[in-house]
Structure 1
Amino acid sequence: MMPSATRTDARESGVIGLGFATLWRGIREQPRLFALAASGACLYTLTGVASSIVLGEATERIVLPAVRDGHADWPAVAVAAAVIVGVGALRALGMFVRRLAGGTVVFRVQGHYRHRVTRQYLRLPLSWHQRHSTGTLLSNANADVEAAWNPLMPLPFAVGALIMLVTALALLFATDPVLALIGLVVFPTFGWVNLWYGRRVWPLYAGVQRLRGEVSAVAHESFDGALVVKALGREEEETDRFRVHAEELRDAMIRAGRLRGLFDPLMESLPNLGILLVLIVGAVRIRSGAIDVGQLVRVAYLFTLLAFPLRAFGWVFGDLPRAVVGYQRVEAVLTAPSEEPQGTRNLTGPGPAALRLAAVSYAYPDASPDGTAALPGTAAPAGTASPDGASQDDAAGPSARSERPVLSEVSVEVAPGSIVAITGRTGAGKSTLAGMLARLVDPTDGAVLLDGVDLRDLAPGEVSRAVALVPQQAFLFDDTVRANITLGLDVSTEAVWAALRSAQADRFVAALPAGLDTHVGERGTSLSGGQRQRVCLARALVRAPRLLVLDDATASVDPRVEGAILAGLRENAGASTVVVVAQRRSTIALADEVVHLDAGRVIGCGRHVDLLASSPRYAALLTAYEQAARAAGTDAMPDPDLATEAVS
């Protein structure tokens, strides 16, 4: 559904006014190229008017005398042919310039806005992205941008047609005012039909663009969850779910197509009706001696020439409703508030950073009752993760979000160069806290301070330069190992290998077919889960962060390999301050201090051995993991809730 502000604008300005205002924005992006395209269109249309004059004169001075005298004046025929060819060549030149420059305008403006949309996506915080489905965001950057600027292609032709229309009307009045009156009837009728069409088709196209986003969202979710769909045999159900949305889009497009199917024939028929009236009235005028045959040929040919340029108006007016809808959806992205204030302060000094959490609290933003997002007609995807990108362990439903905060007055101090482990049951708020340290979300109360500076006061880019977060779910791009580690950072090959050694990934990377230059496939499908996590860890280490945050980032790694990784971090403790979300006793035991979270609150803080002795809940948590793992005969760590229940 379109926002109320948009509906008000539509009522006040009208679809046509909004459409031309949208196109004017595109023209201002490429004014010189558009002027060149419009000049080519004017050359094309004016040479069309000139060709009608040439044909009229040739008919009157060459054709009719040849018919009357029984022989042709061949020198005059040669001159007329040369003039016709010359006019045709100029017309072809105008068409070439119009199409080349006009196409360049459209593609450049679309490319510019795609770039702006994607840059805005990167600027907006993760919490904004989690409120919008991926399919809708793809639709904004592709289908909506195309819809917004497609009318720019025929617009130069329409400008030329307008010049041609004025010139043709002047020529019509100079030739015969009576025949010119037919044009004064046909052309206003053409304009009225365009206005009628625009007002009725605009809401239909609004629905089409909204449903495009929904179809893209369902398709993307199905493709992204292909492993689950295949493993659980959900192909038929997913096909049915997609079919429902696809059929809704089909029906909406058919409704808009029916109206377009009525509009296009009207645009085709109006100039032809004008030609028919000209011939009927012109025959009467010739019989009365008011005009001659050459003048009638000139007028009739003018109407024939006007038929095609007038269709350019139809193309522009026909696409204006879609342009309005597309631009409004794009503008909703471009004007979305960042919700993330930026400061101007910089971090000074090298080495590991001091970290302090001062009474930090966080509650998820309330979801709207219908789950709709900020974009017009956008629905939040089913099963959306928490706004801070936390794992499902920390994610609660909309009702839970409004009942209690995820974190409540968490206060922790981490000395520079130390290792702190954060542990707790499922849903304790561990991943939310880890994301907060990298400023994926800001606390609703309290502050996260790095070297005594609130993260919200730091200048753009300062947090990402000082803090590196390695999430539990490792993501790799469809690129080489080297590119996935550097991500555009200018570092030497030696530094990349050093990071891989620290992440215990150098051996398997060296064994790959092309080593660092091996392509890992989409999302790193050619690597195992543990290998992907180690590459992601190397990605963080190569940046030499002052604060390294590991959100259960070695959960898929063999315990022995994990031990080697953490031992390396322990040996190089002076390089970075390390905060690790962990469940395994071996991981936690390497930490200088352990923070025990439960229901978003700190219920224990201290050395591992001290907490084991003083906190029964902490001891039960770690013991539950180990006993459940031994009972299962595996080193894999089970869900702590289930493990605790099994022990109790």
Structure 2
Amino acid sequence: MKPDHLPQGKGTFGLLLDYVYRDKRLLVKALLLLLLATAADVAGPLLAKVFIDDYLLAGRLPLWPVAGLAATYVLAQVAAAWLRYQQTLRFTEMALAAVLDIRQKVFAHVQQLPMAFFDRAMTGRLVSRVTNDTEAIKDLYVQFLSVVLTNLVLLVGIIIAMALLNVQLMLVALLLIPAVMGVIYLYQKLSGAAVADSRQLRSEINSDISESIAGMAVLQACGRQQAAAERFEQLNQRYYAARMRTIKIGAALLRPAIDLLSVLALLGILQVFGWQVVNGVAEVGVLYAFLNFMGRFTEPLAEITQRFNLYQQAMVAGDRVYQLMHQPVQHYGRAADHIPEGAVRFERVDFAYRPDKPVFRQLSLDIPAGAFIGVVGHTGSGKSTLLNLLLSFYPPGGGEIRLDGRPLADYSRDALRRGIGLIPQEPFILAGSLYDNIDMGRGLSRRQVEEAARQAHLQELISGLEQGLDTRLGERGTRLSTGQRQQLVIARALAASPRILLLDEATANVDSETEQVVQRALKALHGKVTMVVVAHRLSTVSQADRILVMAHGELVESGSHAELMALPQGRYRAMYRLQQQARQVALAEQEA
């Protein structure tokens, strides 16, 4: 069965059983404390019954026996309170440890998912699953499992004590249990869909907020604040309506229904006790103990039913976490742990993001180690897809990709990530230091980081910062210009000394000065590493050994800049001339 089609609760119970089994020693301690606390709790009314029937109604109050009963009663209540405190600590410890482990595993799993998953996933929804939904699982431990176990054991203890006192009255009290089970069943049937809707809508609210904040500059520039606010209000209203449905159902079926049933049970007990009094077989102490027990008997039932609201939410949340954790991860090979040279070969490769829209058809390429290859073409021609396949972000639909003669599928993840460096069009900057952003947690030496910064021509920037490489950059690198962020990403890619360097439109959003910096870096690396440079600005790849011109997923032209410019009707020549004309117009406008 696919994870997305699990019966409700199955995934949650799987997670729950895993962690209960893992922490079984802690669970045994918690249950032992629970049993001792229940025994101490139940002892109180029994001691009161002995005092009333054997001493108070008998008209004799000897000091030491009565004092002993009173001391035992107080000791039992103090012991019950302390034992319940310790038991609650144990359950909470289990819950927090489980949530800690689940969150770490979920995040680690998300990082291993294929890029195809992120093509359709929304950031806000993923964040909601890792944070809100795992928190709901903690509530399942603390607010539901702990409360239900505690109250079930307390119910069993009370029933046993009632049976010891008066079997007939105990049977009347037991009628409450099937009635309460019917209320719980009805609540689950009526509230399940509303709870699932509210969890889904909360994820959508998180996603909407995340998207709006990330694109705030665009929203304000386009004057779309009102439209965004209206969309958010609609989501909020739907979430409000779903939550109100669950609250109304709970308000009608949980506490009020239990209170009504407990009053009816109490009337039944008083009726039976009255018959026993008439027949001369009842004791006042027994009635006191039963009234005391009934208060404690109905309270656990009410607690259990009230917790079913949390139970429903935890079931939905747990299933969502379970589904995420069972999304298939991307698998890598184990036969090769490093890329020795960096030669690349595409052999009749087919690929499509969607079956009805192929990107590549029988694409064949041969890139020798150390070559500088430029890839150009109009939007949608397959330039970035070429890099995604080389990075093993997506598997080819047909044919084979080879690195140094080995199939790409043979290489381990570490081999690919160490051996292939990527410089994307949109720089991703951590809210850490300059050093952290170049190292990226790879444990590189200070010398490697400094050398990478030098290769990316970052010395001037570093010397101007108050703490050099250790200067914190702020969220998304707000302290850096667009060109400096791109240089930083170049340094990051070069720091691990890759054998293959991929640039995806690295100069599309930078000024001419930064483009020259990139070109100098490429020139310095020429012959040392294999470079595949996707470029919108053709001047970036004009010095390439070979330029590949892509159109609709096919290689339509190939050659050096001079060879392609010599083709009278060539695509590259037309693209280059258009860009040169556009540049000349821009310069003329500046001069004017």
Contact 1:29 1:109 in 2 (8 A): no
Q: Is the 8 A contact 1:275 1:304 kept in 2?
A: no
Q: Is the 8 A contact 2:339 2:415 kept in 1?
A: no
Corresponding position: 1:124 with 2:113: yes
1:313 CA displacement: 2.4
Q: Counterpart of 1:55? A: 48
Q: Is the 8 A contact 2:349 2:360 kept in 1?
A: yes
The alpha-carbon distance between structure 1 residues 280 and 629, as it changes in their structure 2 partners (threshold 3 A), is farther
Partners in 1 of 2:580 and 2:259 — Cα distance?
79
Distance 1:431 1:4, change over 3 A: closer
Alignment of structure 1 residues 279-298 onto 2, 5 Å = 279-298=270-289
- Cα distance in 2 for partners of 1:432, 1:528 equals 28
Q: Which amino acid aligns with 1:30?
A: D
Query: Is the counterpart of residue 44 in structure 1 residue 37 in structure 2?
Result: yes
Among 255, 267, 288, the alignment partner of 2:258 is 267
User: 1:306 maps to which residue?
Assistant: 297
Q: Is the 8 A contact 2:339 2:419 kept in 1?
A: no
Find 2:477's aligned residue among 491, 503, 524: 524
C-alpha distance in 2 between matches for 1:319 and 1:354: 57
* 1:143-198 residue CA offsets vs partner (Å, 9 max, x unmatched): 22233442221323422332332232232222122211211211221122112212
* Mapped contact 2:195–2:312 kept (Cα < 8 A): yes
Of residues 374, 381, 403, the one that matches 1:421 is 374
**Aligned-pair distance for 1:256?**
1.2
What amino acid sits opposite 1:107 in the alignment? L
1:632 and 2:586 correspond = yes
Q: Give the one of 176, 189, 196 matched to 2:186.
A: 196
Q: Paired residue for 1:398?
A: none
Q: Distance in 2 between matches of 1:524 and 1:500?
A: 16
- Secondary structure at 2:509 match in 1: coil
Cα deviation per residue 1:279-306 (whole Å; 9 max; x = unaligned)? 4543553354212111111111111222
The answer to whether the 8 Å contact 1:430/1:581 transfers is: yes
Return the alpha-carbon distance in structure 2 between the equivalents of residues 18 and 600 of structure 1: 42
Query: Per-residue displacement from partner, 1:517-571 (whole Å, max 9, x unpaired)?
Result: 2222222222221111111111110010010001111333332333233223323
Query: Could you tell me how far apart the structure 1 residues matched to 2:15 and 2:464 are?
Result: 55
For 2:312, the aligned partner's letter is: P
Matched, 1:182 2:178: no
Which digits, 9 at most, give the CA deviation of each residue in 1:322-341, with x for residues without a partner?
23322222222122123x44
Is residue 2:25 matched to residue 1:32? yes
* Separation in 2, partners of 1:25, 1:271: 37
Native 8 Å contact 1:40 1:96 kept in 2: no
Letter in 1 for 2:74: V
Tell me the equivalent position of 1:80: 69
**Contact 2:425 / 2:508 at 8 angstroms: preserved in 1?**
yes
What letter corresponds to residue 632 of structure 1 in structure 2?
A
Moved more, 541-550 or 38-47: 38-47
User: For the residues of structure 2 that align with 1:3 and 1:561, how far apart are their CA atoms?
Assistant: 48
Could you tell me which runs of 5 or more consecutive residues in structure 2 were left unpaired when the two chains were aligned. none
Distance 1:150 1:74, change over 3 A: same
The answer for the alignment partner of 1:97 in structure 2 is 86
Instruction: Decide whether the 8 Å contact of 1:567 with 1:590 is kept in 2.
Output: no
- Cα distance in 2 for residues equivalent to 1:319 and 1:53: 34
- Does structure 2 conserve the Cα–Cα contact (< 8 Å) formed by 1:435 and 1:469? no
- Which residue in the other structure is 2:349 paired with? 360
Aligned AA (1:354)? A
In the alignment, is the contact (CA less than 8 A) between 2:343 and 2:367 conserved in 1? yes
Q: CA deviation at 1:268?
A: 4.3
Inter-partner Cα distance in structure 2 for 1:326 and 1:616: 57
| Aligned equivalent of 1:609, options 546, 562, 580 | 562
Q: Please name the residue that 2:98 is paired with.
A: 109
> 1:355 touches 1:413 (CA, 8 Å); kept in 2?
yes
**SS of the residue aligned with 2:409?**
helix
Within the candidate set 409, 428, 439, 1:486 is matched to 439
Instruction: Tell me if structure 1 keeps the 8 A contact 2:452–2:492.
Output: yes
For 1:447, what is the secondary structure of its paired residue? strand
Q: Which residue of 1 aligns with 2:463?
A: 510
Contact 2:3/2:327, CA 8 A, preserved across alignment: no
One of 503, 511, 534 as aligned partner of 2:487: 534
Instruction: Choose from 301, 318, 332 the match for 1:327.
Output: 318
Give the Cα–Cα distance (whole angstroms) in 2 for the partners of residues 21 and 485 of structure 1: 40
Partner Cα separation in structure 1 for residue 16 and residue 300 of structure 2: 19
Distance 1:450 1:84 in 2: 80
SS of 2:72's equivalent in the other structure is helix
Cα contact 1:409–1:446 (8 A) shared by 2: yes
Percent identity, aligned pairs only? 28
Mapped partners of 1:348, 1:18: distance in 2: 38
Say which SS state the counterpart of residue 358 (structure 2) adopts.
coil
Per the TM alignment, residue 74 of structure 1 is displaced from its structure 2 partner at its CA by 4.1
Equivalent in the alignment of 1:374: none
Q: 1 CA distance for matches of 2:134 and 2:447?
A: 43
Change in 2 beyond 3 A, CA 1:361/1:150: same
* Deviation of the 1:311 alpha carbon: 3.3
Output the amino acid matched with 1:532.
Answer: R
Letter of the 1:184 partner, please give it: L
**Are residues 587 and 324 of structure 1, via their aligned partners in 2, closer, same or farther at CA, if it must alter by over 3 Å?**
same
User: Contact 1:420/1:579 (CA < 8 Å) preserved in 2?
Assistant: yes
Asked whether 1:168 is paired with 2:158, we answer: yes
Q: Aligned pair in 2 of structure 1 residues 501, 139: CA closer, same or farther (>3 Å)?
A: same
Q: 2:533 matched to which residue of 1?
A: 580
Give the Å deviation of 1:348.
5.2
2:211 corresponds to 1:221: yes
- Report the Cα distance in structure 1 between the residues aligned to 2:11 and 2:165, rounded to whole angstroms: 38
Q: Decide whether the 8 Å contact of 1:357 with 1:412 is kept in 2.
A: yes
Q: 1:173 to 1:561 in 2, by over 3 A?
A: closer
Q: How does 1:389-408 map to 2 (within 5 A)?
A: 402=356, 404-408=357-361
Identify the residue that residue 477 of structure 1 maps to in structure 2.
430
SS state at 2:293 partner: helix
Letter aligned with residue 51 of structure 1: G
CA shift in 2, pair 1:256/1:25, >3 Å: farther
1:420 is displaced (CA, Å) by: 0.8
Q: Is the 8 A contact 1:151 1:315 kept in 2?
A: no
SS in structure 1 at match of 2:462: helix
Q: Shift in Å at residue 272 of structure 1?
A: 4.8
Residue by residue over 1:193-225, the C-alpha shift from the partner in whole angstroms, topping out at 9 and shown as x without a partner, is: 112212222222122222222222211111111
Residue equivalent to 1:389:
none
- Letter of the 1:513 counterpart: E
Structure 1 residue identity aligned to 2:38: T
Question: Which one is further off, 39-48 or 479-488?
Answer: 39-48
Unaligned runs of 5+ residues in structure 1 are 367-401, 637-648
1:38 CA drift (Å): 2.4
1:29 Cα deviation from its structure 2 partner: 3.4
Task: Give 2:98's aligned amino acid.
Answer: V
Query: For 1:413 and 1:318, how far apart are their aligned partners in 2?
Result: 62
1:550-565, aligned counterparts within 5 Å?
Answer: 550-565=503-518
TM-score normalised by L of structure 2: 0.93
The whole-number CA distance in structure 1 between the counterparts of 2:496 and 2:3 is: 44
Deviation at 1:485, TM superposition (A): 1.0
2:228 to 238, 250, 254: 238
SS of 2:376's partner is strand
User: Residue type matched to 1:112 in 2?
Assistant: D
Deviation of 1:445 after TM superposition, in Å, equals 2.2
Q: Secondary structure at the match of 2:413?
A: coil
The count of residues paired between Structure 1 and Structure 2 equals 586
Retained in 2: the 8 A contact 1:22–1:323? no
- Classify 1:512/1:268 alpha carbon distance in 2 versus 1 (closer, same or farther; 3 Å): farther
Distance 1:427 1:590 in 2: 24
